[in-house]
Amino acid sequence: MAQMRICFIGDSFVSGAHDGECLGWAGRISAAARRRGHDLSPYNLGIRGETSAQIAKRWRAETEVRQSVQQEGHLVFEFGVNDAREVNGKRQLELAQSLAAVREVLSAAARWKPTLMVGPPPGTDQARNARVAELSTEIRSVCAEFSVPYFDSYGSLVTSSLFLADVKAVDDTHPSAAGYAEWAKLIDAWPAWRTWLP
Amino acid sequence: MAQMRICFIGDSFVSGAHDGECLGWAGRISAAARRRGHDLSPYNLGIRGETSAQIAKRWRAETEVRQSVQQEGHLVFEFGVNDAREVNGKRQLELAQSLAAVREVLSAAARWKPTLMVGPPPGTDQARNARVAELSTEIRSVCAEFSVPYFDSYGSLVTSSLFLADVKAVDDTHPSAAGYAEWAKLIDAWPAWRTWLP
């Protein structure tokens, strides 16, 4: 039985926006790990609307105060869709800006604590999806540089009719409880996650 | 239908330690509000083991980055048991230290955002319970000074055989899912909470 604190740091997909059950994928994979007998303390540090640059500014202070001598600390990041989102016709962060933030976060995180990265998911806006798919591929490369396991949410969910129908019914961006459950099922089966919490 | 972001700031009872469902009372009352049709974004800022003095240091920075121009911000605090807990025979915070921290937090919080305070719950250690009961009474007085509604968890749960049996079965301090559900049911019926989220 593993004993650990895990900080989940990211955007609205981490905080579970539009999930009527208030769990998101982070809450669901944490509850599943507890059902397998692990003593896991999850800390959900997702904030709606945040880009990688905003997360780069706050993640360290917020995760440092959540460490403990009693339980080993771990980090799981997820972000990217807000970077690729256009606001008033302008992409919020250019690809190079996103990758600079990803590199800044992951280089420090991976030196400090066991770290995983969950990639941004698809939605129903095809133009944005193309930007998210490109960003996801690039984040995967940065993760490889720092030996951080990467979960390809985009590739895993872009063929899921359940997930995409759910997102379409909500706001073209977020799933509801059913879509979060589908996403959580995939992450829960990810070998890198199961290495932490068999 | 109300649209708001609520930061829940506190200790392990906020983070939902020992809840197999990873919801705690904060997740349960948030999910219940969503079921009533409200567009609520809860942010769980509970940290295991923290005293009021530790919470006083971090609450402002962590809640400031969670505000949005789109959704009205609200604050709910809960802490106190760790203050009254003895570690190596010594109470972690003396009553006067706790009350100074409570006053510091609530005076700033209530000037800034709509604020509620949930009091610390009973456990099965009678000596500690006496200290928690005293602290709870004093926190209630500070809340009255700043017109912050106070939910008396101690008084509400000390007669609940379900809650106390659950706490006894866990670790003499925390409930499991069943106890959190009982506590959440009481807070969910609290008029001050329902004024925010009818």
B-chain CB neighbours of A59 within 8 Å are: none
Q: Report how far residue A70's alpha carbon sits from residue A83's, in angstroms, rounded to the nearest whole number.
A: 36
Tokens 């976060």 map to which residue?
Answer: A105
Q: Considering only residues 32 to 51 of chain A, which have any Cβ-Cβ distance to chain B shorter than 8 Å?
A: 34-35, 41-44, 47-49
Residue of higher predicted confidence among A2 and A181: A181
ipTM of the complex: 0.95
DSSP conformation class of A124: S
Residues of A in contact with B30 (CB under 8 A): 22
Predicted pLDDT of residue B145? 97
Amino acid at B159: T
Task: Decide: B91 and B133 in contact? Cβ < 8 Å.
Answer: no
Residues B33-47: pLDDT tens digits? Answer: 999 999 999 999 999
Is the model's pLDDT at B2 over the cut of 90?
no
Confidence of residue A65 (pLDDT cuts 50, 70, 90): very high
| Total-model pTM | 0.97
Contact assessment for residue A49 and residue B60, using Cβ atoms and an 8 Å cutoff? no
- Phi, psi dihedral angles at B117 (to 5 degrees): -125, 130
How does pLDDT run across A68-95, given as a tens digit for each residue? Answer: 998 999 999 999 999 999 999 999 999 9
For the segment B98-115, what is each residue's pLDDT rounded down to a tens digit?
A: 999 999 999 999 999 999
Nearest to B12 by CA among B65, B85, B73: B85
On chain B, the residues whose CB falls within 8 A of the CB of A20 are 31, 34-35
Q: How buried is A136 (Cβ within 10 angstroms: 0-12 exposed, 13-18 middle, 19+ buried)?
A: buried
Largest interatomic CA distance in chain A: 50
In tens, the pLDDT along B171-181 reads 999 999 999 99
pLDDT of A1 above 90: no
The span from the CA of B124 to the CA of B171, in Å, is: 9
**Average pLDDT of every residue of chain A:** 97
Residues 61-80 of A with CB under 8 A from B: 61-62, 65-66, 68
Judged by CB atoms closer than 8 Å, whether chains meet at B34 and A20 is answered as yes
Helix and strand element counts for chain A (H, E): 10, 7
* Strand ranges across the sheet with B150-151: B39-46, B3-10, B72-78, B115-118, B150-151
Query: In this predicted model, what pLDDT tens digit does every residue of A38-50 receive, in sequence order?
Result: 999 999 999 999 9
Separation of alpha carbons B34 and B22, rounded Å: 17
Contact check, Cβ <8 Å, A22/B15:
no
Q: Select the residue of A22, A41, A42 nearest B42 (Cβ to Cβ).
A: A22
Q: Are A34 and B20 in contact (CB under 8 A)?
A: yes
What's the pLDDT at B142?
98
For residues B83-91, average pLDDT: 95
Residue A47: predicted pLDDT? 98
* pLDDT at A189 > cutoff 90: yes
pLDDT of B11: 98
Tell me which residue of B17, B21, B26, B27 sits closest to B50, measured CA to CA.
B17
Spatial distance between the Cα atoms of A80 and A59, rounded to a whole number of angstroms: 15
* Spatial separation of the C-alpha atoms in residues A2 and B68, rounded to whole Å: 37
For A14-60, the pLDDT digits (tens) are: 999 999 999 999 999 999 999 999 999 999 999 999 999 999 999 99
Neighbour count for residue A75 (Cβ, 10 Å): 24
- The 10s digit of each residue's pLDDT in A129-163 is 999 999 999 999 999 999 999 999 999 999 999 99
Residue among B7, B41, B62 with most chain A CBs within 10 A, to mutate? B41
Under a CB-based contact definition with an 8 Å cutoff, are residues B1 and B159 in contact? no
pLDDT at B130 over 90: yes
pLDDT band (50, 70, 90) for residue B70: confident
Rounded alpha-carbon distances, angstroms, from residue B113 to A8, B4, B54, B62? 26, 12, 20, 14
Q: Is A177 on the interface with B (CB under 8 A)?
A: no
At residue B152 the predicted structure's pLDDT band, cuts being 50, 70 and 90, is very high
A67 in Cβ contact with A111 (< 8 Å):
no
Which residues in B lie closer than 8 A to residue A44 (C-beta atoms)? 43-44
**Residues from chain A contacting residue B17 (CB–CB below 8 Å):** 41
Backbone φ and ψ for A131, nearest 5 degrees, come out as -70, -40
The pLDDT of residue B1 is 85
Residue B142 CB partners (closer than 8 Å, separation 6+): B99, B102, B103, B106
In this complex, do B68 and A49 lie within 8 Å of one another by their Cβ atoms? yes
